[in-house]
Amino acid sequence: MLDTGVPDLRQVLDVLGSALLRPLTELPERPVPVSGVLIFERRAPLPLPPVRDAILLAVGVGAAEAQAKELVDAATEAGYACVVVKSFGEPVTDLVDAAQRSGLVLLAADEAVAWHHLDAMVSSALAPTVRFAQAAGTPAVGDLFALANAIAGMVGGATVIEDPHRRILAYSTLPGQAVDEGRSQGILGLQVPEGPEYDEQYRVLTQARHTCRFAAFPGGLPRLGVAVRVGSEVLGSIWVVDADGHLDATAEQALSDVADIVSLHLLAARTAVDAVRGRRADLFRRLLADPSSVSAVAPQLGLDPNLPVAVAAFAVASIDAEDVLTAHTANRLADLVSLHCEARYGRHGCALIDGTVYALLPNGPSPNGPSPSGPSANSHRELVADIARRAHGALRVRVRAGLGSLVPGLGSIASSRADADLVLRALTDRPGDPEWCQVATIDEVWASATLSALAHILATHEVLPRSIGPAIRAHDLKHGTTYASTLLAYLDANSDVVTASNQLSVHPNTIRYRLSRAEEIFGFDFTDPDERLVLWLRLRLGDQLGW
């Protein structure tokens, strides 16, 4: 370790491990100081580091592109220590040659690791506490149980490490350290017990930036706790039992200091999980796009090809699907859906496709608990509704969820996905629904879903005549009339003049007059049931079709 306190690139690579970052150029024998990490995006100018010797993450830059070599030259001139790329199987010879000529270190990142996770992990690895702990022999990254034992020995009490959802990831096993019933129950189920007392503790913990001290529950023991963060994001928490009340300010400080080390471990664990999820998502996307691949994909997902399944679809309601914030929220929604589906059904499949999160819901015995033996439409419906509610609570955005029909095997999931998409479309088109969480099955919204499907068909068939809808609306706009709203209200009321007049707050004779004039002006016949049906469809679906 450098005496200046600035980490050396070799130290950073030792902390992160070769599975995450591997050198493409030979590391120089001299120390390569690293001061920070910055991100380059291909449509933005090269960020200038506040100080020299930063790591540059080349997001979206192909290793075989001419821009990559230009970026290496520009990064060298700007004073970067190294550039990180993802090769995705592309040849890197030219890029390596360019880096070696410039004297810049070139690193390759694991393609399965998201750039924002890599950014967070490198930042954590640069923390002085982490580097000191690595030099002092702290357990290798990813060994959470060994780390829990190390913390328990250092701080002086039984320790658990949890994720943000209060799942217990690791716990200490040192002899002679007291535990209470709450900790025992949590370890048995790998989940912190529910209860308002726990809720209050987590609320306090996530708001604090230091170690918190918590009094004992009835029948329990007091604890120290600290939130584990990277930036503003809470990755989890550490809890240490203070059985005899002897843990003092020194112990509190030690627990605060070790949080940076735990953040690196939690990021590494999450990155490994994300890589596995990414591979499952790719398999699920392949299955949705090509159901004929079921024989190859099903074994990799751990599923019987003939097992009945349903597809659920989740979406964040937004007026701008291209908005960066919406895209970020959609990714967080995908994480939540994956988490809850894995807890219920095991690790089968969840994928984010064009802003919609799709989840594969098997019907049958669950590896994580009992499941109904018959068709599980009700249990699927309850799970989808529960996920939507929790997603709204966590993300504070409107969430829509649709459940497709249960199909007899993986080869038919395209049909279930189409149903789920129809449900989402029907929920989107549902006017005036105030609910933050809109959830339905295809059977619950069959009428609206049919209209949505019909609107899609009509919109894609240019040969169908469509002049009557725009003609009525254009006449209203030009002459200040209200024929479109009057006709729609009348047809919606099943041709009941009184009901339509009440809806529009006008006299029934006014409705009759407008209907008569509309027949004269636009040339349709209300006595013809086919014309009434098509006229209603044109007016009812006009906004969706642009008619």
> Average pLDDT by consecutive 10-residue portion of the chain (547 residues)?
60 71 87 84 76 84 79 89 86 88 88 74 63 48 75 90 84 83 71 80 90 87 90 86 89 89 78 67 85 85 86 79 62 82 73 88 56 56 88 82 91 91 81 66 81 70 58 84 89 88 91 89 82 78 60
pLDDT at 357: 92
- Nearest CA to 538 among 489, 468, 461? 468
Angle at 123 between CA 118 and CA 125, to 5 degrees: 95
Burial class (CB in 10 A: 0-12, 13-18, 19+), 41: middle
pLDDT at 469: 65
Give residue 461's identity as a one-letter amino acid code: H
pLDDT at 124: 64
pLDDT at 401: 92
User: DSSP 3-state assignment of 41?
Assistant: strand
pLDDT at 479: 87
pLDDT at 319: 46
pLDDT at 374: 39
- Is the CB of residue 168 less than 8 Å from the CB of residue 184? no
Question: In the numeric block, which tokens belong to residue 343?
Answer: 């807890």
Question: In the numeric block, which tokens belong to residue 385?
Answer: 């509704």
Question: In the numeric block, which tokens belong to residue 232?
Answer: 């503003």
The pTM for the full model equals 0.50
- Residue 47 CA to its chain's centroid (Å): 28
pLDDT at 403: 93
pLDDT at 332: 80
- Give dist(CA 462, CA 278) in Å, integer: 40
